[in-house]
Amino acid sequence: MGSLVLAMPVQAARPDGQARYTVISGDSLWSIAQHHGCRVSDLRRANHLSEGSPLLAGTELVIPTCKGKGKSSAARVHEVARGDTLSAIAARYGTTVAELRAANDLKDDTIVPGQRLSIAAAPAELPVRLVAGQSIGRPQRGSLANGVQLPHSRQYFRRRPEWAWGAQHVVDHTRRAIDEVNRRHPGLHRLAIGDISAPKGGVLPGHGSHQSGRDIDLGLYYTKVPAGYPEEFVPVARGTLDAEATWDLVHAFYRASKNPGGPDKIFLDYEVQGKLHAVARKAGISRATLTKIFQYPDGRWARDRFVQHVPKHDDHLHVRFDCPPRDDECH
């Protein structure tokens, strides 16, 4: 696997008309160039950087209007089949209905079999780093060695940065999922991030797990930011859930579960599962797939589901990740 971390969205253009991007820990010129559809040489030229120049966190880079095309500017074509809907096609390609309409000059959601739709490729997904020997033991009885801290981001808020330490793959998978949701829903509020583990793992006050850097608590998305959020988690009963964005977050984690070191399960209240299930069905996700993901509507004790009911989880997702491959210390 590579050693890249997700590049964050470009900042708003400055009065001089040039977009800027602020470097964060783990960025590389290659990752930033890929995210913005540029070449490394474009970035070097625009910022007067020579070969081997250090890239320091906090540096503000000019993002040029690139003449070369990165992977994110490629386009694909989808031929509409019988039964297709715009929402199902958008979910399949990781885009939105609004983007499909704009790319194809559609006035509404009407499409017909045989119609060819242009679909802009999503920005290149950056690799997740799998590091053996970090997560030791079990989530309920374990420790963390040489863990990494979830970095600051404009996309989320760390409630307790001192307890935001985890295994590298947990941090990478989490950042990639959140970044994906923000691309699909521009203008989202910052997501509340709860605890992962202490710097060296072990018992964490208020938790029965979170000891080995493979558990993370994430808040939910809301259509209007509730009072007290994101400094605290807010139950669905006290806010208007943005079920579409929250479903997209769960869906991103589910897809990541197919990869090494991906999420193993999510703990979430059964009634909240029902709200996400309804949105997913409307988006065209098949019943067979949803049966693998949710316990709803088969009862809160239905077995072998990715999302599982746990009491007092109506205000956040508790995501537990698998061990890296061939890591004998991790259980």
Annotated domain spans of the chain? 1-72, 75-120, 135-321
pLDDT at 27 over 50: yes
What does the mean pLDDT of the chain come to?
Answer: 86
Residue 98 is predicted with a pLDDT of: 76
pLDDT in tens, 215-229: 999 999 999 999 999
pLDDT per position as a tens digit, 69-83: 444 434 568 889 998
Using only C-alpha atoms, the chain has a radius of gyration, in whole angstroms, of 21
Residue 51 has pLDDT above 80, yes or no: no
Contact (CB, 8 A) for 263 and 321 = yes
Q: Are strands 263-267 and 307-308 parallel, antiparallel or unpaired?
A: parallel
Task: Say whether pLDDT at 46 is over 50.
Answer: yes
Bridge pairing between strands 148-149 and 307-308: unpaired
Of residues 162, 190, 215, the one with CA closest to residue 323: 215
For residue 140, what pLDDT is reported? 98
- What single DSSP character describes residue 238? G
Sign of dihedral through CA atoms 102, 106, 108, 109? negative
pLDDT of amino acid 94: 65
89 — pLDDT class (breaks 50, 70, 90) = confident
Contact 184, 161 (CB under 8 A): no
Compute the distance between CA of residue 157 and CA of residue 24 in angstroms, rounded to an integer: 15
Distances in Å between the alpha carbon of 187 and those of 60, 154, 182, 265? 22, 11, 7, 28
- Rounded to the nearest angstrom, the gap between the alpha carbon of residue 30 and the centroid of all alpha carbons in its chain is 20
In the chain the beta strands, taken as DSSP E runs, fall at 19-22, 60-63, 75-79, 116-120, 135-138, 141-144, 148-149, 156-158, 165-166, 191-193, 215-219, 263-267, 307-308, 316-321
Equal fold, 1-72 vs 75-120: yes
Both tokens of residue 284?
């065209």
3 state DSSP class of 299: coil
Residue 135, pLDDT score: 98
Q: In 3D, which of 148, 109, 168, 95 has the Cα closest to residue 323?
A: 168
Rounded CA separation 194/178 (Å): 14
Chain center to CA of 119: 21
pLDDT, average across residues 127-134:
88
pTM: 0.67
Q: Which residues pair with 116 in a beta bridge?
A: 79
Domain 75-120 has CATH 3.40.47.10: no
Q: How would CATH label the architecture of 1-72?
A: Roll (3.10)
pLDDT of residue 3: 32
Would you say residue 177 has pLDDT above 90? yes
Residues 6+ apart with CB under 8 A from 65: none
CB 31 within 8 A of CB 43: no
19-23, 26-30, 46-50, 244-248: least confident range: 26-30
**What is the fold of 135-321?**
Muramoyl-pentapeptide Carboxypeptidase; domain 2 (3.30.1380)
pLDDT at position 125: 56
